[in-house]
Amino acid sequence: MGIKIRKRFKAAGSVQEKMFSEQVQVWVDVCGVIGGRHLLIQGWAFHPEYKSLDFRLEYIGSEEDSSSQDVGELNYYTLRTTRLDVNRHFKFEGDSCWGYSLLVEWPYDVAVENTFLRMTVSADSQSKEVELKPFVELTGETLFGHCMTWRTGEKAELLNLMFESMGNGVFEIPGLKKLEESQLKSLVDWHWDSILAVPGHGIFLSGWLLDGQRDLASLVLRTTDGSYSLNLLEESARFDRIDVLEAFPGRAEPNYKAGFFTWVPMPHLIERASLEMLFFTKEGGLGVVPVRQSNVREDITQASQQVLVNFNVDGREYQSNMRKYIGPALSALWSNRRYLLEDPQVEILQFGQEVKEPKRSVIVPLYGRYDFLLHQIAQFTEDADFAETELIYVLDDPRLYDAFIPFCYDTSMLFPVSFKVIYGGRNLGYAGANNLGVRYASADNLVLLNSDIIPSCSGWISRIEQKVSSLKDVGVVAPKLVFDDGTIQHVGMTFSNSVQFGNLWLNEHPGKGNPEWLVDIDSVMESPAVTGACMFISKALYDSADGLDETYVLGDFEDSDLCLKLREAGYRHYVLADEKLYHLERMSQNLFENRDWKFKITLYNAWQHTERWGSLIEQLVR
């Protein structure tokens, strides 16, 4: 029947316009005001010849200002919705959305009246004006009163539009339907395993959330003093929690990811902040549940583990999770720790006769085991260079102190090498320990040395210094290092792109583990970076770069970071392969197979390093 009619009307073009306004059926359900600043106009419009209709709303002014040029555009969002009742009434069987919902931003201070507005419904170039109803105040409770036949997704879309326009004001709409915790639990369930607060930084939240029917429109964390998080349903990492699905059979599809973690940045978070979790359902109900956080202080080992435990480094979302949640959370933990820690209470002990006006200072941090000191000193005793060397051991491990100091005393009685011990009272990390040592170094030139490095013959320091004097633009210089079996440990450092870990740049020691005859070695080689295990650098240059960066966690990437910083400033780094020292690098567990939290920390460091230096590295390795 419809087809017949269309044919007839198409033939008679002049009557078409009239026919549009006759054929189109429009109904206004409600004209509402939300909180004075937003209007909501909802209803339906149907035309048998069109799949869709357009809506237009104009401000035509109040009677007082009708003469002014204030007439004009309003900001509004149009939403088309499913109206099964309309479909049924017109025996319509397609999938058009005849419902409409206009969310209007009302910028005027006067209360709105329906005569201030002109709404037209149109298709092609034909239109019809729609008569609006008088505006009434809408409360949260009545917001969705006219949305009975909408699909849930459409309600959620309206909420989204409200968020877009009103921000967190949505939660403050008077009269929102309140959901008690028990009502809420009949829809969704959740448990927070950890709520780690880092004052001044934010909150790391992890646990699980079971919303199998997708009832929630948003999940927001707020402080009672009015800071809101973003919608955590969108700003969170989700992962499989089979145990949760098994504990709540039938509540969610088998592939539902109940696991949840996120980082909520809250730069104004105070230590005693009261926190609430807002669960906002798509039906417009609001559940407010208080949550109790625990503040993280200096000891962040456990907190770091909690942050990392569910971080899947193989997943497709690995990079964005690192960027959005893991990276900022770890960075906050560590910077808060540094802030809380007092300046180290430094203790300096001199063993043997102090070296006056030394030619260089050698800095050796000690952590975990200290017997290396004996082995180094036994070798240094035979080396004339050490008569002019300020040897500084930085004890970076409070657990060792009691046994270490008598050990130093005995050693100095038996081996005539002068050395200092500097103790900062606590573990400062690799970078921190070196920086502390350098602060007390009195020579112009530095050698940063690992404790597990043993020279292969005497005189290495002065020979290296001699060679350095003929090099250009010298940044950092390092010798060749070999393992105990004579295979290469270090002949320079470069970078390799890890496809497996989202194109992170990882430090690489070319030729590592190879016998020397398998590696191309020149006596002087430039290298994008060199190892920190044995590093020659002038104190002025070291200070100009602010030393080793202490933001890397658990000792990693500091050496390449320093090298890249200097490289960017135009300095060059060299490996002197005629000098050989042994580096008894610890047996490292295969980091890339053992995916424990320490591995993830390394990945975090790599990520930080890549963020900083990725583009420079690309130029260097090309």
Partner 1 sequence: MTEHRILIVSHGHPDHSKGGAEVAAYNLFKEYERLGLDTVFLARTDQPSHGGSAFSTINSDKEILFHTHMSDFFLFQSGCKKHVWQEFRALLKRYQPTVVHFHHYIHMGLELIREVRNTLPDARLVVTLHEYLAICANNGQMVKPGKQMKLCYKSSPTDCARCFPDRSAADFFLREKYIKSIFNLVDMFVSPSHFLIERYKAWGIPEEKMVMIENGQPEIETPAPRPLAEGEGRGRFAFFGQINPFKGVDVLLEAFKLLPEDIQEKVHLDIHGANLQGQTEEFQEKILGLLEDLGDLVTLHGSYESHEIGRLMEQADWVIIPSVWWENSPMVIQEAFNHGRPLIGSDIGGMVEKISDNISGHHFRNGSSNSLKQAILKACGEDSSWNLIASNIPKPLTVSECADKHMGIYHG
For partner 1, give the closer residue by CB, 167 or 368. 368
Tokens of 390: 């300020």
For partner 1, give the closer residue by CB, 421 or 482. 482
Instruction: Give per-residue burial for 331-343: e unless 16+ CB within 10 Å, then b.
Output: bbbbebbeeeeee
Which own/partner pairs from 489-492 qualify as long-range (CB within 8 Å, at least 24 positions apart)? 489/533, 489/583, 489/585, 490/530, 490/531, 490/533, 490/534, 490/575, 490/583, 491/519, 491/521, 491/525, 491/527, 491/575, 491/577, 492/525, 492/527, 492/528, 492/529, 492/530, 492/573, 492/575
Evaluate whether 579 touches 464 at the Cβ level (below 8 Å).
yes
Which residue(s) pair with 348 in the sheet? Answer: 422
CB of 315 to partner 1, least distance (A): 20
CB of 338 to partner 1, least distance (A): 29
For partner 1, give the closer residue by CB, 93 or 520. 520
CB of 475 to partner 1, least distance (A): 24
For partner 1, give the closer residue by CB, 383 or 452. 452
For partner 1, give the closer residue by CB, 517 or 570. 517
Evaluate whether 421 touches 430 at the Cβ level (below 8 Å).
no
CB of 510 to partner 1, least distance (A): 8
- Best CA proximity match to 272, nearest among 225, 332, 313: 225
CB of 602 to partner 1, least distance (A): 12
CA angle 192, 195, 199 (to 5 degrees): 165
How far apart are alpha carbons 441 and 444 in whole angstroms? 8
For partner 1, give the closer residue by CB, 228 or 592. 592
For partner 1, give the closer residue by CB, 75 or 500. 500
Tokens of 464: 């290296």
CB of 496 to partner 1, least distance (A): 8
DSSP H or E segment with residue 435: helix 429-439
Q: Is 141 exposed, middle or buried (0-12, 13-18, 19+ CB in 10 A)?
A: middle
CB of 514 to partner 1, least distance (A): 5
Evaluate whether 240 touches 290 at the Cβ level (below 8 Å).
no
For partner 1, give the closer residue by CB, 1 or 587. 587
CB of 503 to partner 1, least distance (A): 15
> In 10 A of CB 43, how many CB atoms?
24
For partner 1, give the closer residue by CB, 245 or 601. 601
- Best CA proximity match to 469, nearest among 361, 390, 574: 574
Q: Which residues bind partner 1 (CB under 8 A)?
A: 483-487, 489, 509, 511-520, 583-591
CB of 604 to partner 1, least distance (A): 19
CB of 513 to partner 1, least distance (A): 3
How far apart are alpha carbons 391 and 422 in whole angstroms? 11
Q: What is the DSSP letter of 360?
A: E
- Best CA proximity match to 97, nearest among 39, 142, 160, 149: 149
For partner 1, give the closer residue by CB, 509 or 612. 509
Residues 6+ apart with CB under 8 A from 309: 206, 597
For partner 1, give the closer residue by CB, 163 or 367. 367
The tally of CA atoms less than 13 A away on the side-chain side of residue 490 is 28
CB of 518 to partner 1, least distance (A): 5
Beta strands 294-295 and 347-351, pairing class? unpaired
